[in-house]
Amino acid sequence: MAGTLRYSALHVNRVERITPRMVRVTFGGEDLADFTSVSRDQHSKLFFSRRPGRAPVIPPMPADGDLTRWYQAYMAMPETDRPWMRAYTIRSHDPVRQEIDIDFVLHGHDGAPVGPGASWAAAAEPGDVVGMLSPQLSHYRTPGPHDWTLLAGDETALPAIGALIEALEPGERVVAYIEIEDAAEQQEFTTAGDVTLHWLHRNGVPAGHTPILADAVRAAVFPDGEVFAWVAGEAGAVRALRRHLAQERGIDKRSIAFTGYWRVKMSSDDADTPEDLADRDEALAGG
């Protein structure tokens, strides 16, 4: 987490079901008056109250910005009072209207969302309040010289992929591989860049249980030139992709930004596994 975090109360202004399994929530509130975007794939920690209809309350940030101390105070809260904390991407920021959009995946079974984040989003209404710690470090990093960018991820990475694509300058080249449920989940982006999108449909296979993303990238004929790769989504799929890019394609690890966004059969509340910790260390070390 970045050192200059501040807590904001976000009020739901609008809710839009942009695809059957994705809800866009537009948040406003006085606290967004001086919100600044720090990167193309900026994310935040959101806090959801366990008490329906109540705003979440978390310990104040220490004046010296010591996050470890703040996290200890947060974890020391009785579980019944401790708001759920989940990571979400800032899909877009409108400084004039002082609003941000966040796109929530409604993951779950048979149309019923699972998990506090997805459940909150499925029921969100204007006036609801969540908390936000922001800004958070980007996973995009500033790439060194490169000729094109590979983006690969599942629908949880789609908000970041959309924001990255829409921020492209003329002449910037992106090839994206995006795993989604089916054709109804495809989105359109407005961009000045040169973008090729490959939509990969699970067609009923549960998320996290298909290798289609890694398989598609494995089978791809890459454009010529130096690549910068950005990979996010289910942690196991991200790991497989990173291994392929580094070991089989020989891409310099420093040119691969990768982040596990979620883990099969594990909630965001579950402790890091040794693999998660190893991934984090490698990501912090720059590959």
Ligand X SMILES: Cc1cc2nc3c(=O)[nH]c(=O)nc-3n(C[C@H](O)[C@H](O)[C@H](O)COP(=O)(O)OP(=O)(O)OC[C@H]3O[C@@H](n4cnc5c(N)ncnc54)[C@H](O)[C@@H]3O)c2cc1C
Q: Residue-wise over 167-196: b if at least 16 C-beta within 10 A, else e?
A: bbeeebbbbbbbbbbeeebebebebebebe
Stretch that binds ligand X, among 70-78, 99-107, 161-169, 183-191 (CB under 6 A): 99-107
For the CB of residue 170, give the shortest distance to ligand X in the complex, in Å: 26
Alpha helices, DSSP H only, in the chain? 67-76, 116-123, 158-166, 212-219, 235-243, 274-284
268 touches ligand X by CB under 6 A: yes
Cα separation, 114 vs 127, whole angstroms: 23
Stretch that binds ligand X, among 8-16, 27-35, 116-124, 217-225 (CB under 6 A): 116-124
Cα separation, 153 vs 141, whole angstroms: 17
Beta pairing partners, 99:
94
Please identify, using beta-carbon distances, which residue of 4 and 267 lies nearer to ligand X. Answer: 267
Stretch that binds ligand X, among 164-172, 181-189, 250-258, 262-270 (CB under 6 A): 262-270
> From the list 28, 56, 117, 162, which residue makes contact with ligand X (rule: CB under 6 A)?
117
Stretch that binds ligand X, among 25-33, 108-116, 195-203, 243-251 (CB under 6 A): 108-116
Three-state DSSP class for residue 47:
strand
Rg (CA), the chain: 19
201 touches ligand X by CB under 6 A: no
For the CB of residue 250, give the shortest distance to ligand X in the complex, in Å: 27
For the CB of residue 21, give the shortest distance to ligand X in the complex, in Å: 9
Please identify, using beta-carbon distances, which residue of 77 and 205 lies nearer to ligand X. Answer: 205
For the CB of residue 118, give the shortest distance to ligand X in the complex, in Å: 4
Using CA atoms, how far residue 114 sits from 99, 225, 265, 269, in Å, is 27, 42, 11, 13
AA letter at 157: A
Residues at the interface with ligand X (CB under 6 A):
43, 86-89, 103-105, 107, 114-118, 156, 159, 207-208, 259, 261-268
